[in-house]
Amino acid sequence: MPERLLEIEDLRVEFKTRDGIAKVIDNLNISLQTGETLGIVGESGCGKSMTALSIMGLVPIPPGRIAGGRILLDGEDLLQASEPRMREVRGNEISMIFQEPMTSLNPVYSIGDQIAETARLHEGLSRADAMARALEMLRAVGIPAAERRINEYPHQMSGGMRQRVMIAMALACKPRVLIADEPTTALDVTVQAQIFDLLNDLKEKTGTAIIMITHDMGAIAEMAQRVVVMYAGHIIEQADVGQILTDPRHPYTQGLIRCVPHLTQTPSVERPPLLEIPGVVPALSQLGSGCSFAPRCQYADAKCRAEMPPSTAIDSGHDVACWLTEREAAA
Ligand code: SF4
């Protein structure tokens, strides 16, 4: 029976802006089980990266503020943890990889030194043991000729190899949770596929749970077992990946899926047109009382503009926040 490893309960994060208080995360509830991959999907500004920063204890305060909620790692509330305790958590228990590895790797140290330093800091290994761990991790992430390349510097490697190094560094302390924030956006398609295979393979071997943050439904289809769709700081739909891809109910989720060409390309079926979602994510300091997607939604009516739809279970494990579910039930 998989155990609940990480639980986010009623999380609220606000930022003070010149235009007022922006609710960047509003009543977020997520749970992550040991060994699963949870996808968090949405456009820029939906709150998915802020969710990751909240878990890591890296929300810039001020101008940010945790306005409420709990983030429980094995029952320990990380929002109440001291900064020294959070330094232990980051790396030892939860690691993160980012979109652009060059911004996270130090250009003046060899990749072996950087991975070894992580292991020394977090596990107190000797220099020799830490270098042995670095070599082991470089092999695990499929760096060819790892014995030689351990002495190379980041600029001597391709983008795909640097991302593998980032993954090696993130996994060097054998974390229980890996947060991957758009880990393949800067890479070409074949390298993306290799990184997905690598993450899936490492998850199988180590049991590390993964939170995959992306705007790309194609990446979700490759990686996730469960999917949370975020819009303007809220979860608007969540379900197993199969339900989300074959039976998306929220108009925003449907729009995200229509933006992905290969998910609809079955040779025998006439291809629906590739569509974009009109408009942009609203300013979070200007949200009214209604559904935040209403200005972009072809189904919006007066009730949508006046009242925020509650999250409703429409099937086992499939929740949607949209007044269409009520309209369909009444039809
Ligand atoms: Fe569209 Fe209304 Fe559903 Fe919002 S609640 S997504 S406006 S139909």
206-216: pLDDT as tens digits: 888 999 999 88
- Please report, in angstroms and rounded to a whole number, the separation of the first and last CA atoms in the chain: 39
Could you identify the atom of ligand 1 that is nearest to the CA of residue 305? 7
4-17/20-33 β-pairing: antiparallel
**Ligand 1 centroid distance, CA of 307 (Å):** 10
The pLDDT value given to residue 269: 52
- Which ligand 1 atom is the nearest neighbour of the CA of 304? 2
What does the domain layout of the chain look like in residue ranges?
A: 4-93+175-262+271-330, 103-174
Q: Ligand 1: does its nearest atom lie under 6 Å from the Cβ of 309? A: yes
251 C-beta closer than 6 A to ligand 1? yes
Q: Which secondary structure element, helix H or strand E, spans residue 161, and what is its range?
A: helix 159-171
Ligand 1 contact, 308 CB (< 6 A): no
Task: Tell me the CA–centroid distance for residue 96 and ligand 1, in Å.
Answer: 34
10-residue stretch averages of pLDDT, the chain, 331 residues long: 83 91 92 93 88 93 92 95 92 83 82 90 87 90 90 90 86 87 76 82 85 89 92 95 94 88 53 67 80 93 94 92 89 78
Give 110 Cα–ligand 1 centroid separation in angstroms: 51
Phi, psi of 180 (to 5 degrees): -110, 110
CB of 300 closer than 6 angstroms to any ligand 1 atom: yes
The residue to which tokens 């997520």 are assigned: 30
Ligand 1, closest atom to CA 323? Answer: 5
Q: Does 321 contact ligand 1 (Cβ within 6 A)?
A: no
pTM summary value: 0.87
Q: Is 175 in the pocket of ligand 1 (CB under 6 A)?
A: no
Q: For ligand 1, is residue 294 a contact (CB within 6 Å)?
A: yes
Tell me, in angstroms, the distance from the centre of ligand 1 to residue 70's CA.
29
Whether 121 is in the pocket of ligand 1, judged by its Cβ within 6 Å, is: no
Query: Which CATH number is correct for 4-93+175-262+271-330, 2.60.120.260, 3.40.50.300, 3.90.45.10, 3.40.50.150?
Result: 3.40.50.300
pLDDT at 264: 46
Let me know if 271 is exposed, middle or buried by CB neighbors in 10 A (0-12, 13-18, 19+): exposed
Separation between Cα atoms, residue 16 and residue 18, nearest integer Å: 7
CA of 286 to the centre of ligand 1 (A): 18
Q: Is the CB of 232 under 6 A from ligand 1?
A: no
Burial class (CB in 10 A: 0-12, 13-18, 19+), 232: buried
Return the structure tokens found at 15.
């930022």
- Residue 261 has what pLDDT? 65
